[in-house]
Chain A
Amino acid sequence: MPTVAPLDLDGYCLFASFIGEVPVYALADGTVHRLDHGHHAVEMHDGLTCAVRTLDGKALITGGEDGLVRALNAGGTAAEIGSVGRKWVSALAAGPQGAVGFSAGKNAHVRLNDGTVKDFAEERSIEGLAFAPKGLRLATARYNGGTLHWVTAAGQPIDLEWKGAHTAVMFSPDGKYVVTTMQENALHGWRLADMKHMRMSGYPAKVKSWSWSAKGKWLATSGAPAAIVWPFQGKDGPMGKAPLELGTRGDSLVSSVVCHPTEDIVAIGYADGMVLAVRFTDAKEILLRRGGKGPITSMTWDDKGYRIAFGSEAGDCGVIDIRG
């Protein structure tokens, strides 16, 4: 039987993850809580707007209402790594080779491992950032599409056009697709080889959480009473195919999803705080958490795929261990 080790915090949890083996919880009030041989709290900002984990899993990057970008390492030491001035930091992304992307308003910046910063500007506000899995390439999400920028290599930026407001962006793990969430209840995708469009719509609510399955075969998403899981294993991606609907419930929307690091399994968090794990092949469900005080906002598996750190809007966070 899976077990839940609760951690009751006071405030909205924006991001729950692991730094190394240590569960961490980033709250909107600006504190980051660590479970490292006891409960420790670090004041990162007065007001935290976004958080992301570095690709090597060894640090947490946070952006604040104070316009600062900071990094927290596994030992609990924080350092400033960037600043956007008086605006709120609106988006963050972690890239290969230790690169960190951050943005505010119409400007994005990439801080490279050696501390140099590259600047990029768009004509409209940047809502989301993502790095390609290989090569230093940054994608922005903005009104009417997104743009792909080479960070260090020479090369013209490439515009990805699609009418409407795009609020977040992600590359597929093989780098072949770029997908965005939209202000409307839909996703949009581009196959980079030929810029073919993919429309993924039909959600009753905005998609706010998404996760690629192992090897990028599936893309799991929130925004419906089930996890909507789009097939990306064929050469045409999800075009012309129906998604899987996993963990369907009649009384609560899915608010957070995270795929297992190696198996075709997705952990699904709901608006009432419930968490299920569901296998893609037979849709078999395992209850991981009965429910809680608020919608699940964020979940991350540890590298081995045994534990899930989860956070909620109400602050009732914790760690689920599926080994029992």
Chain B
Amino acid sequence: MSDTPSSDTQTSIPVTVLTGYLGSGKTTLLNRILSEDHGKRYAVIVNEFGEIGIDNDLIVESDEEIYEMNNGCVCCTVRGDLVRVVEGLMRRPGRFDAIVVETTGLADPAPVAQTFFMDDDVRAKTRLDAVVALVDAKHVAMRLKDSREAEDQIAFADVILLNKTDLVSEEELHGLEHAIRTINPHARIHRTERAGIALPEILDRGAFDLQRALESDPHFLDHDDPDHVCGPECDHDHAHGHDHHHGDGDHHRHHDHGPGIHGTTIQSVSLRTGEVDPQKFMPWIQKITQLDGPNILRLKGIIAFPNEPQRYVVQGVHMIVEGDHERAWKDGEKRESRIVFIGRELDREKLERTFQACAV
């Protein structure tokens, strides 16, 4: 595990990764990013110009090219074409403020994300800002049944746009939100029509920046409520009640097992304990990610070490784990260690037992 902060966030260019199945609204959203008057300039890397009807020098067409790294780890993959294009873009940095990478409908988001951690040159000049997934409310239930990729995209996302909400009923939306929460309890979910979202909600989020992720979401990892869906008020404080938090859990769980959502294979495991011993925790997280890395899509955690004035935050993608000291623990703040794993075939009992064994 590297203990170094990622590249200088002051000068590095933020990168937003846009995922979503064919027809989920990615092109609509891209067109909005490119045409709206938001005062920022974006370089956009797409697989095909397709229907982007906007003339912009900074739309780069690039063939998705997945490279497995020669380190014996099957999940250590990068997007080779991105290495080249990002390097090229960064030779003329004055032209744009941020980069958006659009992936194909069937793409696994992991290689895209890992490129920004595993390639030294790319990492030196850019930083992964957030993975945004567009989900088609009308068809997602069907997709989740037959496609591993659709599930991966939800599991991987920091921000999820549940799009085309005008095509389904309020009741269906609740069911979908619950299904999404079951796969990914900590992503922000926004309901949208025609990809209509205030762009600050998806761009420059700092979701992979350990400091900022926690600043913008002070109660990150706090609520394990599977029914939580973000509304505009969520930016202020997550601890407050949510108007859209309807009904009791059982009601929603009913939807969870409804015909549309059956058969999802991704789960999340949230663990919680008091202070942990760094001499035990570091080897533990290393070993877990080495052994179970292929099954772990994302992990995030806030860790309390004894006699350590600062919170330690970790995050990971498959076998890549990064940790850093964050802000100081506040007076009266409960010194608790929390970590969440999102993945497949996670051994909840083993994770729980071995994590608890790190406790002081």
Contact = CB atoms under 8 A, between A and B. Distances in A.
Interface of A: 11-12, 14, 28-29, 46-47, 49, 65, 86-88, 90, 105-106, 124-125, 127, 143, 163-165, 182-184, 205-206, 313
A284 B83 CA distance: 37
A206 B120 contact: yes
A87 B61 contact: yes
A313 B125 CA distance: 13
A127 B91 contact: no
A216 B83 CA distance: 31
18 contacts: A12-B91, A28-B92, A46-B57, A47-B92, A65-B57, A86-B61, A87-B61, A87-B62, A88-B62, A88-B85, A125-B65, A127-B80, A143-B67, A164-B67, A183-B78, A184-B70, A184-B71, A206-B121
Nearest to A66: B57
B80 A164 contact: no
Nearest to A47: B92
- For the complex of A and B, the 6 pairs showing the least CB-CB separation, nearest first, are A28-B91, A165-B67, A12-B91, A164-B70, A125-B65, A105-B63
Contacts of A206: 120-121
B65 A29 contact: no
Contact of A184 (B57, B65, B69, B91): B69
A143 to B, nearest CB: 6
Contacts, number: 58
B60 interface: yes
Interface in B69-102: 69-71, 78, 80-81, 83-85, 88, 91-92
B16 to A, nearest CB: 21
A183 B83 contact: yes
A223 to B, nearest CB: 11
Interface hub of B49, B63, B71 (most chain A Cβ within 10 A): B63
B291 to A, nearest CB: 23
Contact of B92 (A29, A164, A183): A29
For this complex, into which size category does the number of interface residues on chain B fall?
Answer: 20 to 34
A165 B81 CA distance: 11
Contacts of A165: 67, 80
Contacts of A164: 67-70
A49 B69 contact: no
Contacts of B119: 183
Contacts of B71: 184
A18 B119 CA distance: 32
A69 B67 CA distance: 27
A87 B61 CA distance: 6
A183 B120 CA distance: 10
A65 B81 CA distance: 14
Contacts of A90: 84
Given A124-B65, A125-B63, A163-B70, A88 B80 contact: no
B63 A49 contact: no
A206 B88 CA distance: 16
A142 to B, nearest CB: 9
A125 B69 contact: no
Nearest to A29: B92
B63 A106 contact: yes
B122 to A, nearest CB: 11
Nearest to A205: B120
Contacts of B60: 65, 88
Given A125-B80, A125-B81, A205-B120, A65 B70 contact: no
Contacts of A46: 57
B91 A183 contact: no
